[in-house]
Structure 1
Amino acid sequence: MSSASFTPPWNVQRLPRADGRVFLVTGGNAGIGYFVAEQLSGTGATVVLGCRNPARAEAATASIRARVAGARVRAVRLDLADLSSLETAVESMDVDRLDAVVHNAGVALDDPPRRETGDGHELMFGTNHLGHFALTRWLMPLLSAAPAARVVTMGSFAAKSERIELNDLQSRTDYRPKRTYGRSKLAQMYFGIELDRRLRAAGRTVTSVVVHPGGALDSLTPSRPPVHTRTTGARLSAAPAALLLQGKHAGAWPAVRAVLDPAVAGGQLWGPRVFGLSGEPRQEPIWSHLADASVAAPLWEASRDLTGADPGALPG
């Protein structure tokens, strides 16, 4: 094998350079999104954090700059629960192209009662899925302006055991928070797969990849004060879980690879190597229910009707 054709194995500790490229990470101020942003900032790219809370965004950017020398990181205000604000949020990025977006931001509620966005959508479905669906429509001109942009959608291992109820997308008749959360993430994953199919059919250069972080726990996550602080007690109590699960820094690895690795292709699913729960990122087979076009197509149409946006309809 010639040296020109040799591609080194992927190394999560030694990422390829991405100087001159621009990436947007929604929810980049906390959790997995923070670590996606921190890791991407180390490649020389410009990283934009899309955050609802300006104070938390400022803390996250300061933390990244303290850890990554020369980091090109900044934040824009982004509220996925407010669909009418998304066009303005995209304009405020003040860039002429976008090389990748990581759809990471999300809301997870543990207890009733059911809550709604200002647009009248169930909060988790409205934020996690509909917000990103509509945001992609406004980002598409910027993505199309890049030579080979990627939309990376962060799903969840919790979605693997869920199924979409097309007659109750908003959980109006049977609201159970954990199930509603899992279904909102599953809807996101359907969107990512279906988006790539529609982009390919339209001959677009933008691709769409779906990832999930496996089992990522706060108690296994290294401290990044004031963004995240892990106590000694939390670290010790989580030691048994570390045999199978991982921290949120590692949960970021599939998304980071999906953004940077030229070998990643549209329509793929990436997750952790060990039982889909922990370890370095790898491509895995598309879950059987994610390949169901009889769900993906009507979910897309319903999402378009609920948001008034169609991410796949723009020319370019």
Structure 2
Amino acid sequence: MVTQPSTTPTDRIRPDGDRRAAPGLEARTALRAAGNAPRPQIDLRGKNAVITGANSGIGFQAARQLAAAGATVVLACRHPGRMAEAARAIRSENAGATIDEVTIDLGSLRSVAAAANIITDRHQHVDILINNAGMIGGPGWRTLDGVESCFGVNHLGHFALTGLLLDRLLAAPEARIVSVSSTAHRVARLDLQDWPDPRTDGTYRSYAASKLANLLFAHHLHRLIAAAGVSLRSIACQPGWVATRLLSARPRSVRHRAGAAALRAVGAFIAQPPKEGARPLLLAAAANVPSGTFLGPTRWWRTRGPIGPERPSERARNIHAALQLWDLSVELSGVNFASLAASAVVQRRIGGVSESHRKPGASPAS
């Protein structure tokens, strides 16, 4: 049994008010603030939480707070040294914390499969999976599997990891799959070619497309869960504008460095610290939020402020695009979510969409 760590109450995960949002990514009911009234602390002892990209930024902040609530936290990171430093930092705060470390490169499907095997060998159930890791690549960047880097790391690697951990997620009561998107999804173009092999190189265009893919994935996964009648929850969130390493300077094109510098300049005025940016992830992971909800900050053009349900863009709600993306992801990754998607009955119940809409040549437009 993991002992309850000693932290200040403000560092513990707490529900952020009354959650009565209707299921579905289009949930509109507000999460009402609880004001100054005392809020119960969440006890996550006995639960296993896997977080990708947990060595820094909002992933690290989510990991440390889940550990403070008693969860066994699996840090899934690309850099072993930085992951070990993050684990030491969490243990130094919480003497009773149980931390596992698994190396994963989301840009390599072989690495994803190896990491999933390690997690399934060590843990009989996964109660919380937070698909958090993200990157902004440069023009022409590809993963080890040959797909555009933002799509490969931000979406495809997480798609494969989720599918490979599906049996462990189904073994837990009311497990959560949290997909971390971004408000950048609102400016993404809905074009399948923008994902594995973009027609036009564009650093931020590719990033926005990958964040749209995150939401389409969460949307379709929620529909599969509802149709199959299992006790999983697929919850999406976006952290707002957070001061992280995502826009750190790297030797890329002059145009990219200029764009990153401009965004950092704006961020200096409105960006919030990673601890605040982690709040949507924590609420999606531990609060009473129904499957299908999309959470994010509600003020300053959705960049910061109280967390509430957010209506995703029209493109993110496009069921035909979600189906096409799902089929493309299965084809590229070889992971098919058989426990959820193999049943023809389940497929017929997903919005009445015929197989003709799932062929690669079908238009994703509404």
TM over 0.5: yes
Are residues 1:108 and 2:133 paired? no
CA distance in 2, matches of 1:304, 1:255: 26
**Coordinate RMSD, CA, aligned:** 2.5
Aligned mate of 2:225, from 181, 196, 199: 199
1:278 aligned partner: 304
Structure 2 SS opposite 1:216: coil
Assess if the C-alpha contact under 8 Å between 2:193 and 2:199 holds in 1: no
Assess if the C-alpha contact under 8 Å between 2:74 and 2:101 holds in 1: yes
Normalising by structure 1, report the TM-score. Answer: 0.85
Which residues in structure 2 correspond to 1:11-30 (within 5 Å)?
15-30=41-56
**What CA deviation, in whole Å up to 9, does each residue of 1:98-132 have, x standing for no partner?**
101000011212x43x1211211111111111101
CA distance in 1, matches of 2:319, 2:114: 33
**What CA deviation, in whole Å up to 9, does each residue of 1:20-41 have, x standing for no partner?**
1110001111111111111111
Assess if the C-alpha contact under 8 Å between 1:268 and 1:286 holds in 2: no
1:75 aligned partner: 101
The Cα of 1:15 is off from its aligned counterpart by 4.3
Are residues 1:265 and 2:293 paired? no
Are residues 1:190 and 2:228 paired? no
Assess if the C-alpha contact under 8 Å between 2:181 and 2:212 holds in 1: yes
Q: Which runs of 5+ in 1 are unaligned?
A: 1-5, 220-237
Aligned mate of 1:98, from 123, 126, 139: 126
* Residues 314/99 of structure 1: CA separation in 2 closer, same or farther (3 Å cut): farther
2:5 aligned partner: none
Are residues 1:89 and 2:115 paired? yes
Are residues 1:210 and 2:236 paired? yes
Percent of counterpart pairs with the same letter? 35
Q: Which runs of 5+ in 2 are unaligned?
A: 1-16, 19-32, 246-263, 344-366
CA distance in 2, matches of 1:240, 1:286: 23
Normalising by structure 2, report the TM-score. Answer: 0.73
How many residues in Structure 1 have an aligned counterpart in Structure 2?
289
**What CA deviation, in whole Å up to 9, does each residue of 1:65-84 have, x standing for no partner?**
12234222221111111112
CA distance in 2, matches of 1:123, 1:98: 27
Aligned mate of 2:187, from 149, 161, 170: 161
CA distance in 2, matches of 1:186, 1:10: 33
CA distance in 2, matches of 1:57, 1:71: 15
Assess if the C-alpha contact under 8 Å between 2:52 and 2:75 holds in 1: yes
1:223 aligned partner: none
CA distance in 1, matches of 2:69, 2:123: 19
Letter in 1 for 2:327: E
Assess if the C-alpha contact under 8 Å between 1:214 and 1:276 holds in 2: yes
Letter in 2 for 1:268: T
